[in-house]
């Protein structure tokens, strides 16, 4: 979802794009975009692409929530796939950069705000340490796998992304469906904070960090105004002209999702402090205008 939008953003601003994919034939990309087959585990077959590129954006990793109407349950097999897919792809990037005669200037390493753990009250900036739950552990290992790039002299940027709002996937279509049938409302207590970002601001921020030569280290990619789940549901109902009072009990969500219910019933308040300090300007800083744009 992010990759498709990022391709458009980069091409619109004069960048050439090469996409690495396990299944290039199944991807729909503009004709000017080059596709290269990649097993997501090794540097085999694409080192030459690295040598003629100025940057790598590594977004590879198993979808934590899955692609169905309900998020996937986290079985032990699912947990292992989530972690392994991230570590193998990260090591492959390291291997390709190290083997290249002319390495790229910058590597963007994906991560997530789950790095901070969950908390309803604290406001997290990039200075905060990692949390202790499953998602925090995944994010910490995911980030650490790219640390060797710094020893190779490559500028390394880590993007800790929040809840990306897009009509093409992620959480928004899952929330839109019940609202369209007049069944929308808070999930669980509704107090859990969602640190969200419009997909257009997500890819604009990635391009901004690619082009900002002084940018390195972790950056929170979230809008500057996180909102509670209840406020999110209320705003979505307002934009759609639908009520938002149908509350789904937390215990039911836990029964359906098991441990994965943490994605829905808990959250964190995150501030994009370093991004703002660099002068990035959000196109959609407020939830109402973001949802209005996405729903329309």
Where are any strands of DSSP class E within 144-207?
155-161, 163-166, 169-170, 193-194, 196-198
Residue 284's Cβ-count burial label (10 Å; 0-12, 13-18, 19+) is: buried
Determine the pLDDT at residue 226: 96
Q: pTM of this prediction?
A: 0.95
Q: What is the bridge-based pairing of β-strands 55-58 and 106-112?
A: parallel
Determine the pLDDT at residue 26: 74
Mean pLDDT taken over the chain = 94
Question: Per residue in 3-36, pLDDT tens?
Answer: 999 999 999 999 999 999 988 777 777 778 899 9
Q: State the average pLDDT over residues 248-258.
A: 94
Distance CA(14)–CA(8), nearest Å, equals 10
Map out the domains of the chain with their CATH numbers. 2-295 (3.40.50.720)
SS3 for 28? coil
């Amino acid at each position: 979802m992010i990759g498709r939008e990022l391709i458009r953003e980069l091409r619109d601003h004069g960048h050439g794009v090469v996409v690495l994919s396990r299944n290039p034939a199944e991807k729909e990309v503009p004709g000017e975009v080059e596709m290269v087959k990649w097993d997501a585990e090794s540097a085999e077959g694409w080192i030459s692409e690295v040598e003629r590129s100025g940057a790598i954006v590594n977004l590879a990793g198993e979808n934590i929530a899955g692609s169905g109407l309900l998020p996937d349950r986290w079985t032990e097999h699912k947990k292992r796939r989530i972690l392994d897919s991230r570590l193998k792809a990260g090591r492959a990037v390291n291997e390709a950069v190290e083997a290249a005669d002319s390495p790229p200037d910058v590597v963007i390493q994906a991560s997530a705000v789950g790095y901070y753990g969950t908390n309803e009250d604290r406001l997290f900036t990039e200075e905060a340490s990692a949390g202790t739950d499953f998602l925090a552990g995944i994010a910490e290992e995911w980030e650490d796998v790219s640390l060797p790039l710094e020893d190779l002299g490559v500028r390394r940027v880590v993007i800790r992304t929040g809840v990306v709002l897009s009509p093409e996937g992620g959480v928004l279509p899952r929330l839109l469906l019940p609202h369209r049938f007049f069944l929308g409302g808070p999930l669980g207590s509704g107090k859990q904070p969602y640190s969200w970002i419009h997909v257009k601001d997500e890819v604009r921020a990635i391009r901004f960090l690619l082009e900002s030569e002084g940018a390195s280290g972790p950056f929170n990619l979230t809008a500057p105004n996180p909102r509670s789940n209840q406020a999110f549901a209320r705003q979505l109902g307002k934009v759609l002209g639908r009520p938002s009072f149908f509350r789904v009990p937390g215990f039911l969500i836990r029964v359906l999702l098991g441990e994965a219910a943490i994605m829905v019933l808990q959250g964190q308040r995150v501030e994009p402090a370093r991004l703002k300090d660099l002068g990035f300007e959000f196109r959609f800083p407020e939830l109402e205008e973001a949802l209005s744009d996405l729903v329309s």
